[in-house]
Amino acid sequence: MSGDGRAESANALLGEIAGVGADRARGGYSRHVFTTAEGELREWFGGAARARGLEVQVDRNANVWAWFGRPGPDAVVTGSHLDSVPGGGAYDGPLGVVSALAAFDLLRAQGFTPRRPLAIVVFAEEEGGRFGVPCLGSRLLTGTLAAERALGLRDGNGDTLADVARAAGHQPAHFGRDEETLGRIGTFVELHVEQGRGLVHLDAPIAVGSGIIPHGRWRFSFTGQGNHAGTTLMEDRRDPMIPAAEMVGAVRRSAAAVPEARATVGRLVPTPGGTNVIASRVDVWLDARLPEPGDVRELVAEITEDARAAAELEGCRVEVREESYEGAASFDAALRDRLRALLGDAPVLPTGAGHDAAVLARFVPTAMLYVRNPSGISHAPEEFADPADIDQGSADLARVLRSLAG
Ligand code: GLV
Ligand code: MN
Ligand code: MN
């Protein structure tokens, strides 16, 4: 409920942040962790939470918490993230946050008094849009990612996470597994826009998540000899762009041959990156995902072999580094069935999209709710959810929170 006691819908709350982080060059939103835009969203969330009488805290890893009543153990926690991919949509992340605020408004309007502590969390850097590794906030909180490694990660400008976190007012020396905060989470429920067309096919507005398929990110660094585009004859070149381009084709071929596999090259950076310059180095990032019993690392090994062969043919070298990996996540079966029953036999869906919920699921009973996305498009400006489905999502989330915390 806002300061004047008015309940706000999730749609209205989304409208309040519609202008923040709009990316005029790429379209959509670029709201990377510890940038001005993301800071503005943190401020907005803190203000919206305080206007509702919630107690706002920032934990050791820069995740933001808003407590409905007194913070404490065995809490029912909901929330998502406010950062985005480059040029992303308006819903991936923010929908879970605004729906949580709207659900709290509904509970207040119903005069609900929770028996368990109730909180909203906004996790930091879910997308890995700035530092490459996704779910930094939840991985650091749970100790799944070592603080030393995280703090040394560099963004595209060469700045470390430690430096930009400090500049944004956080204390990187305190980053790392946070027993106290983790110990407070009794149950976690994340609401998210669906990132495929599962609900369209089922003709339903809301689903309960079953789990997340294994996925990871690998960086292939090809090195050759930088040189002049006009004076270097073709036979004299060692151009790392050639094996990098070969690799893009190999990714498509290898993944297309494995049922259910998804593999993507969405980022390729030549150094130094001049039109009239043969690159000295090309970095290629591979995002690969494959449900079990498939083995996503086996698929990556096959791609690596092709990349090495292509590099050798051009007199180049390639170095491969696994930047992140998340194994299969299965959400708590009893919790899933409870939510499903509560929401009128809502359908159950698996997903190929990663979430902080996958990280949390290894530590506490965790569930996800998905809101229908008519086009299924996500990580792009065309991402969408119908306002009526959004309202349904926050009402369903309120029902879930009421049942879990009541
Ligand atoms: C996050 O949305 C991911 O699946 O990469
Ligand atoms: Mn995303
Ligand atoms: Mn997300």
> Is the CB of 88 inside a 6 Å radius of any atom of ligand 1?
no
CATH of 215-326, one of 3.10.150.10, 3.30.70.360, 3.40.50.300, 2.60.40.10: 3.30.70.360
Taking each helix axis as running N to C, give the angle between helix 94-109 and helix 36-51, from 0 to 180 degrees, rounded to the nearest 10: 10
**154 alpha carbon – ligand 3 mean position (Å):** 22
User: In angstroms, what CA-CA distances link 204 with 20, 256, 287, 348?
Assistant: 31, 30, 30, 11
**81 annotated as belonging to a binding site for a ligand:** yes
Strand (E) or helix (H) holding 284:
strand 281-289
**What's residue 69's pLDDT?**
86
CB-ligand 1 contact for 353 (6 Å cutoff):
yes
Torsion of CA 154, 152, 192, 339, to 10 degrees: 170
In this structure, the residue with its CA closest to atom 5 of ligand 1 is 354
What is the number of the ligand 1 atom nearest to the C-alpha of 92? 2
Paired residues of 75 in beta bridges: 185
The pairing of strands 277-278 and 227-228 is: antiparallel
Identify the residue whose tokens are 């913070």. Answer: 71
Nearest atom within ligand 1 for CA of residue 379? 2
Cα 37 to ligand 1 centre (Å): 20
Read off the amino acid at residue 78: T
Q: pLDDT at position 7, please? A: 80
- What is the pTM assigned to this prediction? 0.97
Closest ligand to C-alpha of residue 128 is 1
* 402 alpha carbon – ligand 3 mean position (Å): 24
Q: What is the pLDDT of residues 237-283, one digit of tens each?
A: 999 999 999 999 999 999 999 999 999 999 999 999 999 999 999 99
Is 192 annotated in some ligand binding site?
Answer: yes
* Ligand 1 pocket member 127 (CB < 6 A): yes
For the chain, give every domain's residue range.
10-213+328-405, 215-326
Q: Which atom in ligand 1 lies closest to the alpha carbon of residue 127?
A: 1
- Rounded distance between C-alpha atoms, residue 206 and residue 194, angstroms: 9
CB 368 within 8 A of CB 192: yes
Pick the atom of ligand 1 nearest to 352's CA: 4
Say how far apart CA 399 and CA 64 lie, in whole Å.
23
Residue 237 counted as an annotated binding residue: no
Q: Which ligand is nearest to the CA of 80?
A: 3
- 195, 262, 285, 359: which to mutate for ligand 1, most atoms within 8 A of CB? 195
Residue closest by Cα to atom 1 of ligand 1: 354
Is 289 flagged in the annotation as binding? Answer: yes
Please state whether 220 falls in left (phi above 0), alpha (psi between -120 and 50) or beta. beta
- For 52, counting Cβ atoms within 10 Å of its Cβ (0-12 exposed, 13-18 middle, 19+ buried), the class is buried
Digitized pLDDT (tens) for each residue of the chain, 406 residues in all: 554 455 899 999 999 999 999 999 999 999 999 999 999 999 999 999 999 999 999 999 999 999 998 999 999 999 999 999 999 999 999 999 999 999 999 999 999 999 999 999 999 999 999 999 999 999 999 999 999 999 999 999 999 999 999 999 999 999 999 999 999 999 999 999 999 999 999 999 999 999 999 999 999 999 999 999 999 999 999 999 999 999 999 999 999 999 999 999 999 999 999 999 999 999 999 999 999 999 999 999 999 999 999 999 999 999 999 999 999 999 999 999 999 999 999 999 999 999 999 999 999 999 999 999 999 999 999 999 999 999 999 999 999 999 999 9
Q: Which CATH architecture has domain 10-213+328-405?
A: 3-Layer(aba) Sandwich (3.40)
